[in-house]
Structure 1
């Protein structure tokens, strides 16, 4: 949460937050960085309602904030708690908007993130895209792969049957500028036949979403909400904790993986991250260094003196993200739950 975005007042009287007030508190708590994408999706009337509620909000107590966030997490993670769905939303929109406008809106809601079709395709899992494209004409596939990100196109090509992939490569090498009407036809086909079907088959698990959100909390906020959620919905809290990948989980890396991580982490970042680590994780990293390197790192950490918990959280979060990026490239393996399950990113 952004510091100073929401002032939680101690000693104020608790009261029930209703309607736009609940939205106002959530957006204030999210701050500018995380709240901005939500503001962008509000229409003028909604912005006015939320802004008015925000201006008149008054003091918010810690208990009020905790209750609101627990309600929010519980609603997302409890089966059936959220009554709206894609089909009901589409039916409602069709009652007062033209069909083509509704299709565009629903595509934005359902489809992978992106401003246009080609950005969306670049965010579709490569195995899913390859499975669809393998049944298309090689020329069509050549057009599609020429329009999406090159790194994504390379992964898709690597999954396609070898002979088919080679034909696509040859088509791409010989391909001239694609006429606009041909490109429009391919784009329309993808929108109707692929993206609409994809939206019905790839609904993201809400517990996974909340685990990612909780991963980005600082440790005090994370502990507060996990504790509160355990009281309201222990099953969901347990699922979220299982799915979360934290700095402590780096202590489960195998020898080769931790060496890879250490080569990709700046010394100053490592010092700050380990300064606030528990003893077992700290010793795990020291044991995977040379005696001299570990001694020098310990000296650097001692010379730092007291450091802010926020800086430690940021450094540890950066190391976790580096580990995830390396795992996505296949350069290290991330294990959780006593090593029984490999996490693939």
Structure 2
């Protein structure tokens, strides 16, 4: 696209270029200001700019320079960039759904799934109860968390384990499965689809589903799953509480966690933290401690991603331990309770 005339680009195309330039984290902050329909348009444009030439970068920055906040390092776009940006802005589930609609093969099949997802939970269960675990897990991966949990809770205990295991290991699923489900629902949906594959399921989706379940059911399920498939069970358990989920903690619980966390791990773990989470953490400690923490983060310089993730896992382990000991609760949404 080196010969692209910037002056002839549409507003969504110009915005897409700008978001690519500033990188996924900063782009996600911008995308949060838009509705889903607008995000789809912008991300569709982002996916078409696989590389942004230097000249276009310059023109884009001149136009949008008042909005530039941070993260000027990324200039690679494409579908992967759109997916990553959406995951930060809207979460994994919505990201997959939106990319599914704008990506290859994401048309009529998604409409079929949408039709099924609008049914009552009991109706969906009746449709799926005689299906294979692979088919059930496939459809659950497309439902919103609450409805997926409602349908999942109606399954028998043994079937739940197998469905979660299938759900956690799905990476790509043949869209022929959509026809199988749709054929049971509406005969007119049994039309031919081009052979293709679509991202669905995976560890993150399985964890999201378990997070929606009753606390006792989720504990029992993850324990049994770890016995059944230790590797998958451990992977799902890691995703049940992410580092950014620290935002869910009540102010007092966050302060309790921070008293237990190693300061070196906290500084390293915060290298990739969102602005919202950083502000919450700084606001939960003394002003002097916050300044000291900021200085420590700056002194770290560039840190390897695996080191950041290791530090975050150590902090999450503290959160889990305190929750198991009953000293904090993960049930309440704590961010809104903080007074600045």
TM-score using structure 2 length: 0.36
The structure that has the greater radius of gyration is: 1
